Structure 1
Amino acid sequence: MVESFPKQFFMMFKLPLILACAIFSAHMACAAAADKYSVIPEPEKTELQHNSTRTLKLLSDQEAPTLGTDAYRLTVTPQGAHLASGGREGRIYGLATLRQLRDQLAGQPEGIPCGVITDKPRYPWRGLMVDPARFFIPTADLKKFVDMMAYYKFNKLQIHLTDDQGWRLPVPGYPKLKSISSKRKESMRNGIPHEGMYTKQELKELVAYCAARGIEVIPEIDVPGHNQALAAAYPEFFCFPNPDTKVKTDEGVTLHLICPHKPEVWKFYAAVFKELKDIFPSGIVHLGGDEAPLEKTWAKCPLSIQYREQKGMKDVHEELKEFIKKMSSMLAVHGKRIQLWYEKPWARANIYNKGDTVFTWRMGLTPSTITETKKQGLSLIIAAGEYCYLDYPQLPGQSNRGWMPTTTLEQSYRLDPAYGRPEKETNHITGVQGTVWGEHLPTLNHILYRAYPRACAIAEAGWSPMNVRSWENFRRKLADHRQFILKRFNYDMERTKENEPPFK
């Protein structure tokens, strides 16, 4: 029957059949290409097109001041990419996005979509805090930590340099900081001696390394509390000098508060602040200011009692207010302003001054703190413990030292720094910070294991507006980013109950 059809009949369908096959083949090839970008943090605006590209060669890199200093526009075409940025920060962030897209293309060589990303951060402060005071972190390891920060557009690194368990900042004229305060006989009952002190040059090199990646380094020098390591070297700085004081070997709040009525204390901190000026270009110094048991120390100190009587002060909080004001004035001489951890009793005693920047950190208190700081005229950075404390275990069953709550990746991702409130109630919030306290994190591997991938969630909370954020999309992107980080940094972000680095 078929043989009876004329040859011309088949020729009528030959060309359409060939075209259909070609179209089908092209469709199959396109189906193999990515249909979305995997960028963390999620850009403010992404306009995808139907065509795709197999190259991300940077074809143009131009200034566009109308975009804003920290904003950029990245246009992806079949021939390559075009970057426009409003300033140095915007260019750094645009190149960071391009870096992630190149990593995505390397894993999906069939292509990624063409499109336009128009982007800027939701908040100007997007930070992580590390804690070498507890376990010393060599600068080579800090640089590795910084490289991953830059990959996710963090722009602030707070470095906690002093605490009960160690002092890491060199100060000329005070040699016992290195010989005594930087060392301890063990850590958390492990029987292993520990020590470490940065040199001035090491810290300056770290600052330069961070600056090249768009990251500002903020030093933290804790006062008046968290100072047992200092007391071990210079007991004369304290209300109740004890020459037998040793650097603390475990966690917990101590009674070692510096005495504000000894001239040698102010001479010492003048030297400390001068050294900070020489090392850190940042206009900020974090003074800690938390967990200071005033009622058990200054309230009983003979010098403090005498001073309060002379000045007609009603309590130790008035004394503390004067102390913080004097510290602030000394730093102002060097062109620096202070930051502090927010404590509600101190706020009620009017310790903070209008215009100060404080961090909310105590679990469950951030909603009320947002309200209070707005009324007090304070700038607020969100470091809420239930979302941002990245030293806490991230999976049920992992080591919590008997007290730490578990903070899952999804919980960290659910952070809205404004807590769903309107702009007029939250326009004093300037940013977000993840904190990686170091009492139980002895190595870089331990630090990275706890920090990531939750730091990716904190990065998105600080950068991306809520209307473009999605837990489901974040999980999809994170699956890709595990491969990106493995190839680029040789680091695996997979997290299971069993694969945490062991603790000694």
Structure 2
Amino acid sequence: MKHLLSIFAGILLCAILPSVAADKYSIIPEPGRTELKPQATRTLKLLSDKAEASLGKDAYRLAVTPGGVHLASGGREGRLYGQATLRQLQDQLAAQPEGIPCGVIKDKPRYPWRGLMVDPARHFIPLADLKKFADLMAYYKFNKLHLHLTDNQGWRLPVPGYPRLESVASKRAETFGDGIPHGGMYTREELKELVAYCAERGIEVIPEIDVPGHNEALAAAYPEFFCFPKPDMKVRTVAGNSKELVCPQKPEVWKFYAAVFKELKDIFPSKIVHLGGDEAPTELWEKCPLCRQARARAGMRDEQEQMRAFFARMTALLAKNGQTPQFWYEGNAGIYHPGETVYAWRQDQARQSIDKTKKAGLNLIMASNEYCYLDFPQIQGQYNWGWMRTTTLRKCYELDPAFGKSPQETGHIRGVHAAAWAEHLPDLNHLLYRVYPRAMAIAEAGWSPMDVRSWDNFRRKVADHRAFVLKRFNYDLERTKENEPPFRWENKK
């Protein structure tokens, strides 16, 4: 009799979906394959959680039944992704207690690299805020958190033996004339805590130390590292870049970066160090007597050859620690080396970068700014500093990292990467406002096959996720022209 009662109960739970119950899942990013069943469930109790190596390490299968859920995964990554999908379904069920569909989800990422970059160099981001940022990343299956730790406006990595990084380079007098001093420096312990926190959520933390340019903060602290030392140099207080590049002919420069890379190795388990490498005008190298002599001795034609040699030496320095470099791609493949990874970021160059990097033997991560720069305004008329394009949610969603090219042409593409440069984003509230919900579109571009993607379906899911995110993270995804947090320097443009 007990057995018959359990069968009867199962039949009741398997009833055809009532008209008020959900008839679709609201999962972002969209799974690779979903088979919905004509039954509903009101419970997502985890009934089984098993390893199934044949699925592949980053793949999972989630079977939603009337009595609960069965999860199978091919490896740790797949299990974490399956759990992330289950969390979203749980949030959907909480919002729709009448029931959600039974079904089977078979899923794995389209690309192995799905990253977000934050910029504590421009505005310091406390550890607690970075953790909240990582929580949202994991919810949408991002797996790389890129920390832009150094730039003209601040240096955030402590390096033993170089105390002026904290006392000078980590502080600036103001921001855009607001008269408010700004500063911040992470401790080793804080960064290690962040690394561990992210690792639990399947996120690898990638540090960036920008070379040879974007270094006014370093020049303020250690002017002797530069071709033409300026003892009165200050940490930059406005946006933009300068002509200051570290001098590759000074031994103290290489001693310093050896110490930097050792510190990165001790803190970050990742074997990747992003070296920036963009927007580095070489005109001061052209004038520098030490650089001129070095070019003549080596028979170099110009400063671009010197730049290539600079990056080769940086790469060799990293290799001693088992580390490898990444770079922002400047379109000049001659300064990179086959097998290295570059990010296509410049406006309107995404398509061309696919062919150029393949020919040069480079790995490519798609970070094209017309789709992936999330500091740009997302609604026409919002604060844009006078030059930024408006990048709508739909524009972000239109990104296909392969741009319709064949797998043979795009096998070197590793994934997608969205950046939130923070000259104009002073705190977590501003950062999250600009990053979301557009990061959800980038997540789907990096995860979901093109044949399961749909703008109309995505827009429906985003509407559902507003309630999910508000309840789980206490954060509202509503975006209107008027509801952006105010900027204290907005009228100082």
| Structure 1 and Structure 2 fold alike (TM over 0.5) | yes
Q: CA deviation at 1:297?
A: 1.1
Residue 166 of structure 2 corresponds to 178
Equivalent residue in structure 2 for 1:326, among 313, 316, 327? 313
Render the CA deviation track for 1:63-102: whole Å, top value 9, x for unaligned. 0000000000000000000000000000000000000000
Residue 305 (structure 1) aligned with residue 305 (structure 2) = no
Query: What is the CA–CA distance in structure 2 between the aligned matches of 1:74 and 1:412, rounded to whole Å?
Result: 28
Residue 229 of structure 2 is matched in structure 1 by 241
Aligned to 2:8: none
Aligned to 2:7: none
Give me the whole-angstrom Cα distance separating, in 2, the residues matched to 1:236 and 1:188: 27
Report the equivalent of 2:302: 315
Q: Distance in 2 between matches of 1:131 and 1:188?
A: 17
| Corresponding letter in the other structure for 2:343 | F
Residue 255 of structure 1: how far off its partner (Å) = 1.1
Instruction: Please tell me whether residue 282 in structure 1 is matched to residue 270 in structure 2.
Output: yes
State the secondary structure of the residue aligned to 2:335.
coil
Cα distance, 1:129 vs. partner? 0.2
Paired AA for residue 69 in structure 1: K
State whether structure 2 residue 413 is matched by structure 1 residue 429.
yes
Q: Can you give the 5+ residue segments of structure 2 that lack an aligned partner in the other structure?
A: 1-11, 489-493
SS at match of 1:270: helix
Q: Does 1:484 align with 2:463?
A: no
1:296-375 → structure 2 map (5 Å cutoff): 296-344=283-331, 346-347=332-333, 350-375=334-359
What SS is found at the alignment partner of 1:412? helix
3-state SS of 2:195 partner = helix
Instruction: Tell me which residue corresponds to 1:18.
Output: none
Which amino acid is 1:392 matched to?
A: F
Q: Does 1:198 align with 2:182?
A: no
Specify the alignment match of 2:454 in structure 1.
470
Q: Distance in 1 between matches of 2:467 and 2:284?
A: 52
Structure 2 residue 405 is the aligned partner of structure 1 residue 418:
no
**Residue of structure 2 in register with 1:448 after alignment:** 432
Corresponding residue number in structure 2 for 1:19:
none
Q: Distance in 1 between matches of 2:478 and 2:455?
A: 17
User: Counterpart of 1:106?
Assistant: 94
Deviations along 1:400-431, one digit per CA (max 9) or x if unpaired, are 01111100000000000000111111111000
For 2:460 and 2:64, locate their aligned partners in 1 and report how far apart those are by CA, in whole Å: 21
1:128 equivalent in alignment to 2:112: no
| Matched AA of 1:416 | D
The reply on whether 1:144 has 2:132 as its aligned counterpart is yes
| 2:486 maps to 1:502 | yes
**What displacement does 1:484 show?**
0.1
Q: How far apart, CA to CA, are the structure 1 residues paired with 2:68 and 2:268?
A: 39
User: What do the CA deviations read for 1:325-350 (whole angstroms, capped 9, x no partner)?
Assistant: 11001111111100000012x32xx2
3-state SS of 2:209 partner: strand
| TM-score scaled by length of structure 2 | 0.96
> CA separation in 1, counterparts of 2:336 and 2:243?
22
Partner in structure 2 of residue 208 of structure 1: 196
Q: Which amino acid aligns with 1:193?
A: P
Which residues of 2 match residues 49-64 of structure 1 at below 5 A? Answer: 49-64=37-52
2: CA distance, partners of 1:311 / 1:409: 50
Q: Secondary structure at the match of 1:325?
A: helix
Residue deviations 1:94-142 (CA, integer Å, cap 9, x gap): 0000000000000000100000000000000000000000000001100
Q: 1:51, CA displacement in angstroms?
A: 0.5
Which position in structure 1 is the counterpart of 2:9?
none
Aligned to 1:379: 363
| Aligned length in residues | 475
Query: Partners of 2:298 and 2:80 in 1: how far apart?
Result: 52
Instruction: Report the CA distance between 1:211 and its aligned residue.
Output: 0.2
Give a deviation string over 1:140-188, Cα, whole Å, max 9, x none.
Answer: 1000000000000000000000000000000000000000000000012
Distance 2:25 2:299 in 1: 64
* Aligned-pair CA distance for 1:258: 0.1
Does 2:383 correspond to 1:396? no
Q: Alignment partner of 1:319: what SS?
A: helix
Partner-residue secondary structure (3-state), 2:78: helix
Q: Which letter does structure 2 place at the counterpart of 1:135?
A: H
Shift of 1:312: 1.1
The residue aligned with 1:260 is: 248
Indicate the RMSD between aligned Cα atoms, in angstroms: 0.9
Report how far residue 474 of structure 1 moved.
0.2
Q: Deviation of residue 234 (structure 1)?
A: 0.3
| Residue 253 (structure 1) shift | 1.6
AA aligned to 1:432 is: V
- Map of 1:6 onto structure 2: none
- Letter of the 1:79 partner, please give it: G
Deviation at 1:213, TM superposition (A): 0.1
Give the match's secondary structure for 2:18.
Answer: helix
Q: Paired residue for 1:118? A: 106
Secondary structure in 2 matching 1:299: helix
Letter in 1 for 2:61: R
Give the Cα–Cα distance (whole angstroms) in 1 for the partners of residues 441 and 260 of structure 2: 35
Per-residue CA deviations over 1:22-74 (Å, capped at 9, x if unaligned) read x9xx77x7111100000000000000000010000000000000000000000
Paired position in structure 1 for 2:422: 438
Deviation >6 Å, runs of 4+: none
SS at match of 2:286: coil
Residue in 2 aligned with 1:293?
281
Alignment match of 1:224 (pick from 212, 215, 222): 212
Q: How does 1:61-76 map to 2 (within 5 A)?
A: 61-76=49-64
Distance between the aligned counterparts of 1:428 and 1:44, measured in 2? Answer: 21
1:256 CA drift (Å): 1.2
Correspondent of 1:87 among 75, 98, 109: 75
Aligned partners of 2:177, 2:401: CA distance in 1, in Å?
37
1:503 is paired with a residue whose SS is coil
